[in-house]
Amino acid sequence: MDTRSTTAEDGREPGRTAPGARRAGQAPPARPGIRKPLPPRLFAVHGTNAETRWEALRGADYLTPDDLFFVRNHTATPLIDAATWRLTLWGDGLDGGPVAFTYRDILGMPAETVTAFIECAGNGRVLYGEQQGQEVSGTPWRLGAVGVARWRGVRLATILRRAGMGDRAVALMPRGLDADYVEAGENLGRVRRPLPVAKALDDVLVAYEMNGRPLPPDHGYPARLVVPGWAGVASIKWLGDVEVSARPLESPWSTRLYRMHGPGHPPGGGPPLTRMGVKSAFELPWPARLQAGREHLLRGRSWSGHGRVVLVEVSDDEGVSWRPARLRDDRHPRGWVRWTFPWTPRQAGELRLLARAADETGARQPGSAACNTLGYGFDAVVRHPVVVT
Ligand SMILES: Nc1nc2c(c(=O)[nH]1)N[C@H]1C(S)=C(S)[C@@H](COP(=O)(O)O)O[C@H]1N2
Ligand SMILES: [Mo]
């Protein structure tokens, strides 16, 4: 099904410009294939991707504003005309032939909203190196490849039913309309990843609104999947078609990418990544600078792909002692919780602040994360560097 004639190289990807072309401290190139403005105050740009700066979330609302939400693009944001866009369902798992829905059809179906985080499976990747001394490859996210939005759309289950999905169907393959992804000269085709039917029928949304407005182009306009709790790659943007199959399906995003590879993992990698682990982040610059001898109200957020966060604790002595943070929100089961922690550093010097969370299923953050060559799933307690002045 994949055409091999187009490539991801559209000349706008700064990751492909000559090494050294960008000097440290210089503003990032204007067009990493992302349409919205990426002021350095709000984002760190990595190639075709933009990472939210946690200090920009300081004191912000529960929902990540659209203009602050991280962007993970394999290639570049396409501009799609909703008037001619179609969502096509096809494959031998349908009782009839292919079915195409228009934007208007989708808007006319019963709508639901869900407040959920989307988080890249590689969020925290740079910490395998910085904190665990392990070498991994991939986009060097710190902790800003996550955001929470209120998504509105139609349940994928509704669309599958209207398309005539039969009992034979065992696998789905949602696919984006962005350009083919070319990795080290190999064309992997358009971004697509198998989605188990059980998850699709449970809580997956075909979303057309983010935080009360039509999806911005960078986040999947006119429609994207939202797969709550799962690695962000499942939440296919610019959704164009879904294959409904009577046989299991695979793609490079389920066989090679988004699996744990390396020592300690099965040959060929662990199972395709699904739920995200438990994480916490301070709404502070990296490193943070704070004055000694006065009280600071530290703020942060914690989240888990397994369920509500019920406990967050903070340590300023390398994890010897922990004190509970105050949780500030009614916890959305698929979102995050904001917390505060009053803290008075006694003397000038360098130290690390640690935050750790536990969720309602009993899942907690480990002291170290399970290393894997592609650097997925960093869920360890993060040591946030602080300079006390
Ligand atoms: N079509 C398409 N869908 C995609 C991607 C992509 O590059 N193309 N990136 C995926 C990945 S890896 C992540 S983490 C999320 C990021 O969603 P966001 O850019 O809206 O934050 O989108 C997913 N959906
Ligand atoms: Mo991702």
- Which ligand sits closest to the CA of 237? 1
For residue 72, the ligand 1 atom closest to its alpha carbon is 19
> What is the tens place of the pLDDT at every residue in 281-332?
999 999 999 999 999 999 999 999 999 999 999 999 999 999 999 999 877 8
Percentage of residues of the chain with pLDDT beyond 90: 90
Q: Is the pLDDT reported for residue 22 higher than 50?
A: no
239 and 228 Cβ atoms separated by less than 8 Å: no
Mean pLDDT, range 108-130, rounded to an integer: 98
Which pLDDT does position 331 carry in this prediction?
A: 73
Q: Is 181 in the pocket of ligand 1 (CB under 6 A)?
A: no
Which pLDDT does position 84 carry in this prediction?
A: 98
For residue 220, the ligand 1 atom closest to its alpha carbon is 20
Mean pLDDT, range 260-289, rounded to an integer: 97
Which pLDDT does position 10 carry in this prediction?
A: 32
- Kindly report the average pLDDT of the chain as a whole number: 92
Tell me the best of 72, 87, 125, 192 to mutate to test the pocket of ligand 1, counting ligand atoms within 8 Å of each CB and taking the most. 72
For residue 49, the ligand 1 atom closest to its alpha carbon is 19
Burial of 346 (0-12, 13-18, 19+ CB in 10 A): exposed
Mean pLDDT, range 272-284, rounded to an integer: 98
Percentage of residues of the chain with pLDDT beyond 70: 92
pTM for the whole structure: 0.92
Mean pLDDT, range 229-238, rounded to an integer: 98
Q: How many Å apart are CA 79 and CA 178, to the nearest integer?
A: 9
Q: Is the pLDDT reported for residue 49 higher than 90?
A: yes
Which pLDDT does position 311 carry in this prediction?
A: 97
Map out the domains of the chain with their CATH numbers: 43-245 (3.90.420.10), 279-388 (2.60.40.650)
Find the 309 Cα to ligand 2 centroid distance in Å: 22
- Interior angle at CA 78, CA 51 and CA 64, nearest 5: 35
Find the 342 Cα to ligand 1 centroid distance in Å: 36
Q: Is the pLDDT reported for residue 235 higher than 50?
A: yes
Which pLDDT does position 31 carry in this prediction?
A: 59
Tell me the best of 73, 80, 274 to mutate to test the pocket of ligand 1, counting ligand atoms within 8 Å of each CB and taking the most. 73
Find the 233 Cα to ligand 1 centroid distance in Å: 5
Q: What is the 3-state secondary structure (H, E, C) of the chain?
A: CCCCCCCCCCCCCHHHCCCCCCCCCCCCCCCCCCCCCCCCCCEEEECCEEEECHHHHCCCCCCCCHHHCCECCCCCCCCCCCCCCEEEEECCCECCCCEEEEHHHHHCCCCEEEEEEEECCCCCCHHHHHHHCCCCCCCCCCCCCEEEEEEEEEEHHHHHHHCCECCCCCEEEEEECCCCCEECCEECCCCECCEEHHHHHHHCEEEEEECCEECCHHHCCCCEEECCCEEHHHCCCCEEEEEEECCCCCCHHHHCCCCCCCCCCCCCCCCCCCECCEEEEECCCCCEEECCCCCEEEEEEEEECCCCEEEEEEECCCCCCCEECEECCCCCCCCEEEEEEEECCCCCEEEEEEEEEEECCCCECCCCCCCCCCCCCCCCCEEEEEEEC
Q: Is the pLDDT reported for residue 126 higher than 70?
A: yes
Find the 388 Cα to ligand 1 centroid distance in Å: 38
Which pLDDT does position 59 carry in this prediction?
A: 86
> What is the tens place of the pLDDT at every residue in 57-105?
998 999 999 999 999 999 999 999 999 999 999 999 999 999 999 999 9
Q: Is 232 in the pocket of ligand 1 (CB under 6 A)?
A: yes
Q: Is 125 in the pocket of ligand 1 (CB under 6 A)?
A: no
Mean pLDDT, range 343-357, rounded to an integer: 97
For ligand 2, a single-atom ion, which residues have Cβ within 5 Å? 72, 120, 232-233
Q: Is the pLDDT reported for residue 351 higher than 60?
A: yes
Find the 243 Cα to ligand 1 centroid distance in Å: 19
291 and 346 Cβ atoms separated by less than 8 Å: no
